[in-house]
Structure 1
Amino acid sequence: MFPGTPAADPDAEAGPAVDADADVDVSADVEALYRDGVTARKGAFTPEWADRLGEDIALAFEEARRRPGGAVGRGPNRYYVEIHPEQIRGFVDLVDHPWVRSLCAAVLGPDYRIVEVGFDVPLAGAVDQPWHRDFPMPEETRRERRYTSLAFNVTTVDTTPDMGPFEIAPGTQWDDGPDFAHGMFPPKADRARYEQRAVRKFPQRGDISARSALTVHRGTTNHSERPRPVLVLGVDGPEATNGDRHDTAVTRAYWQTLSDRVRRHLDCPVVEALTPVTQKHTIEGLVMGDA
C-alpha cells in the first residue's frame, strides 16, 4: 500500500443525502463568485464524513513530513501538501457532489478538469500571511473578466476565531496592476484597502467553499493549540494551465473503480504504482514568510 493511503473502509464513501445524479441550481453561487470571488455550500456533508477526511489528511501529513520535499512551508508553522486522489476515502464523494459538479460546469464549462488535490495545515503558532492571490491573473480573466479555474476548500474541523481563520477580501479578484510582486502579492501600501474589505470565514465540518484563487486572501494567526487542516481541490477550465504545477496520479486499480462521469474530469496519469509527490506548489513570498 502507498504510504499515507488509508485502509479500505466499507462506509468511507458514504456521502451526502442527495440525489447524486441530479444537477442543482447554482445560479446564485455563480453570481456570488463573480461579485465577491467566493461562495459556499453549508452542510454538504455530515460532520462524520469530515472527520474521516481529517483522519486521512493527518495520515498523509505525517507521511509527507518524514521525507524531503513532502511538505512545503507556506510561512512559519504553516504547510501545504499535495496528495493523490486515492489517499482520501471521500474523493469521489467530493468531486461528484452535485453542487461541486454543477458549479464547475456552470463556471468553467462541461470540459473542466480536476488538476489538484492537496491540503493546507496551519499549526499552532502560524502567523498572518501576506495578502496574496495564488497565481498571476490569466489573460482571459484580464481581457474578458472570465474565470478559468476554481479552488474548493473543505475544512476538517469546526473553525473558531482563535484558530487562524481564512480571511478574504471580496471583489478583489479583478484587481490588476504591474505592482503586484510575482503577479500575486499586492504592494504593502495597499494593505489597508484589503483589511477594510476583509471577511473572516468560519466553516464547520461538512461545509464546502468555492472561490477564485485570484481573490486576494490570507491565513491569519493561529492562537489556539490546534491545527486547522483544510483540503484543497483545484479545478481548471480548458484554457488554464495550473495542472502543469501538480503531479496528481491514480493507480490503474483505482481508475477502474471510478465512474465514467468522474473519469472524464480527472486530468492525471494512470499508473501501476503511486510515487509520493515532491511538492512544487510554492508561492515565493509565503515560503519566505513575507511578501
Structure 2
Amino acid sequence: MNSNVNQPMHFDIAEIMCGLYGDGIIGLKQAFTRKWVQSVREDIDRLFAEALQRPGGALPRGPERYYVEISPEQLRGFVDLASHPWVTTVCKAVLGPNYKIVELGFDVPGPGALDQPWHRDFPSPSETVIGRRLNSLAFNLTTVDVTEDMGPFEVAPGTQWDVFHGCEKGMFPPQTLYPRYEARKQKKMPQMGDISARSALTIHRGTANRSDKSRPVLVLGVDAPDARNAEKHDLQVTEAFYSTLPDSIQRHLNCRIVKTLEPIVQAHTIEGLLMAA
C-alpha cells in the first residue's frame, strides 16, 4: 500500500453515485497523509510565484484570487493522486472505464479575496440537461486546514440539475435564484489530507478570505469520453516523464506529449468572476 495513502481500498459504488447525482459533491476524509499534502503545498507555492511572473500564467478569478494550470510532472504527488483508489473508483463509477484526465491546476484565494457570485464552472452540456447524466468531475484537495476566516468554499447541493436562461453562458444564475442557493448552501471546511469530488455544474462560490493566509486548492479535472472540457485546457507532459508513468495512468491522460514543457496559455477564463458579488 502506498505510504502516502491513509484509506482502505474498497469503496461503495452506490454511495458514490448517490452522492454525486444527489448533492453533487462527495468527499473522503484523510485520503492522504499530511506530509504528502505539505509537499503538494511546496510545489504550488513555487509554481504560483513563477506563474505570477509570466504573462497569462495566473488567471484572475476575482480580487486576490487566481487560477493556474500546470503539468503533471511539475507536481511531485501527481502519480499518487491519479492512482488513489478512491479517485479511480469515483471516476470509473461516474464517468466509465475510459475516463480522461484533462486538467491539473490550483486555485489560490489570497487574503482580501471577496465573495464570488454563485456560479457553475461551465455551461451544462446536453448530456446533463437532456440526458440527465454527469460526464465530468472536479477533484479538489486542500493544502491547508481551512478555518472560518479563510474564505471557505460554499456549495448549494443538488443544483447541478438546475436550468436557467438569460444569463452569461449559462454559468451565472439570475439573482432571483439566489434565495434558493442561500437556503441550501453548505460551507466546506476540509483539513489537510481530505479530498472531494464534485460536479462542476453544482452551483457554488468562494467566500471572502478575511485571514492573513492564502487557501491554495489543488484541482484535477476528469471527463467521460464524450465530454469536451479538454478543449479549454492544455495538459502536456514530456516524453521522458510520460515513459515513467504506469499504463494505468497513461491510458487515462488526455494530453500533448512534448519534448520540453511549453508555457500553458490558459483558455478557460471566467469573466463573470472578475467582479465581486
The TM tier, using the shorter chain, reads over 0.9
- The residue aligned with 1:214 is 201
- The residue aligned with 2:111 is 124
Kindly indicate whether residue 168 of structure 2 is the aligned counterpart of residue 185 of structure 1: no
Matched AA of 1:40: G
Paired residues of 1:53 and 1:89 also in contact (CA < 8 A): yes
2:4 to 2, 12, 15: 15
* Structure 1: distance between partners of 2:200 and 2:7: 28
* Structure 2: distance between partners of 1:173 and 1:181: 17
* Structure 1: distance between partners of 2:75 and 2:114: 28
Residue 48 of structure 1: CA displacement? 0.9
* Structure 2: distance between partners of 1:100 and 1:161: 27
Kindly indicate whether residue 210 of structure 2 is the aligned counterpart of residue 223 of structure 1: yes
Q: Aligned with 1:192: secondary structure?
A: helix
- The residue aligned with 2:143 is 156
Q: Give the count of matched residue pairs.
A: 276
Alignment of 1:1-150 (within 5 A): 14-17=3-6, 24-150=11-137
Residue 190 of structure 1: CA displacement? 1.4
Residue 23 of structure 1: CA displacement? 5.5
Q: Aligned with 2:244: secondary structure?
A: coil
Q: TM-score, normalised by structure 1?
A: 0.92
Residue 177 of structure 1: CA displacement? 2.1
* Structure 2: distance between partners of 1:100 and 1:67: 32
RMSD value, Cα: 1.3
* Structure 2: distance between partners of 1:90 and 1:273: 20
Q: Aligned with 1:244: secondary structure?
A: helix
* Structure 1: distance between partners of 2:247 and 2:6: 22
Residue 17 of structure 1: CA displacement? 4.4
Q: TM-score, normalised by structure 2?
A: 0.97
* Structure 2: distance between partners of 1:25 and 1:268: 30
Alignment of 1:211-290 (within 5 A): 211-287=198-274, 289-290=275-276
Gaps of 5+ in 1: 1-12
- Misfit runs of 4+, over 2 Å: 22-27
- The residue aligned with 1:8 is none
Q: Aligned with 1:274: secondary structure?
A: coil
* Structure 1: distance between partners of 2:169 and 2:276: 13
Deviation per CA, 1:90-139: give whole Å up to 9, x if none: 00100100000011000000010000000000000000000000000000
* Structure 2: distance between partners of 1:180 and 1:77: 25
Residue 14 of structure 1: CA displacement? 4.8
Deviation per CA, 1:46-81: give whole Å up to 9, x if none: 111111100000010000000110001000000000
Matched AA of 2:200: A
Residue 193 of structure 1: CA displacement? 1.4
Matched AA of 1:79: Y
Residue 24 of structure 1: CA displacement? 3.3
1:204 to 179, 186, 191: 191
Residue 281 of structure 1: CA displacement? 1.6
- The residue aligned with 2:159 is 172
Q: Aligned with 2:26: secondary structure?
A: strand
